Amino acid sequence: MMKKTENELEAQTEECTPLVPLHQIFIVFLKIGAFTFGGGYVMLPIIQRELVSCKNWLESEEFYDILVLIQGLPGPVALNCALLTARKMRGMLGGVVAATGVILPSLIIIISIAAFLFPVIRGTYYVEAAFYGIRPAVTALVAAAAINMGRDLIRDKLGLFLLIILFFAGWWIGIHPIFLLLVGGFTGWIYYYHYREGDGE
């Protein structure tokens, strides 16, 4: 009985969408991990293009569902996307393979830089001069991310109020970030759960 259904299932999947080979999943995510500059949010559209448009491994709707979920998950954005998409295609094993692919380049590249390049160049004149300009650049990037995300995601007065209160509680009073997240989540649960009917916007 078990064997029969398995065979049927295999015949069926063979017919419309053959199982995606694990090594191909690995290679796609390895490429994305190794060649995408700018972090997780830059990777998401690239993962979408690779899996949905180029390879047809996933439906567009399936990917959209995953995108919605990722916004509420902790951890590296690209890793979460890799895990969820590969899990859809090849189950838990696929998830492990994709996660390895997307993280491995970070490990190799960063360890090489930290072990061999950084100790040698750090302290030399030109690198110090470059970092003098790179540090404000990084600050600008993160500040812009805060402003852009605030613009996109803060939609009501309570959101803005929470943002301001939590920011000052963290920055001025030095409340631990984990506590700020717990307060935000709990307030949201209390408020939005009770006012979800009236929330038209």
Nearest to 184 by CA among 166, 160, 164, 157: 166
Q: How far apart are CA 53 and CA 38, in angstroms?
A: 22
Q: Looking only at residues 151 through 190 of this chain, which bind another protein when binding is defined by CB under 8 A? A: 153-154, 159-160, 162-163, 166-167, 170-171, 176-178, 180-181, 183-190
Q: Which residue has the tokens 């996660």?
A: 99
User: Can you give the C-alpha Rg of the chain in angstroms?
Assistant: 22
Tell which one of 142, 173, 198, 200 touches another protein (CB under 8 A). 142
CB 89, min distance to another protein, A: 12
Q: Which residue has the tokens 């160049």?
A: 121
CB 90, min distance to another protein, A: 12
Tell which one of 12, 17, 56, 139 touches another protein (CB under 8 A). 139
Tell which one of 7, 60, 113, 124 touches another protein (CB under 8 A). 113
Q: Looking only at residues 78 through 97 of this chain, which bind another protein when binding is defined by CB under 8 A? A: 78-80, 83-84, 87, 92, 95-96
102 touches another protein by CB under 8 A? yes
68 touches another protein by CB under 8 A? yes
User: Taking contact as CB under 8 A, which single stretch among the options 10-18, 21-29, 49-57, 150-158 is the one that binds another protein?
Assistant: 150-158
H or E element in which residue 64 lies: helix 60-70
103 touches another protein by CB under 8 A? yes
CB 41, min distance to another protein, A: 7
Q: Looking only at residues 26 through 55 of this chain, which bind another protein when binding is defined by CB under 8 A? A: 33-43
Nearest to 25 by CA among 108, 82, 109: 82
131 touches another protein by CB under 8 A? yes
Phi-psi label, residue 156: left if phi above 0, alpha if psi -120 to 50, beta otherwise: beta
DSSP state, 18? P
Query: Residue 18: phi, psi to the nearest 5?
Result: -65, 150
Phi-psi label, residue 9: left if phi above 0, alpha if psi -120 to 50, beta otherwise: alpha
9 touches another protein by CB under 8 A? no
Tell which one of 22, 55, 106, 121 touches another protein (CB under 8 A). 106
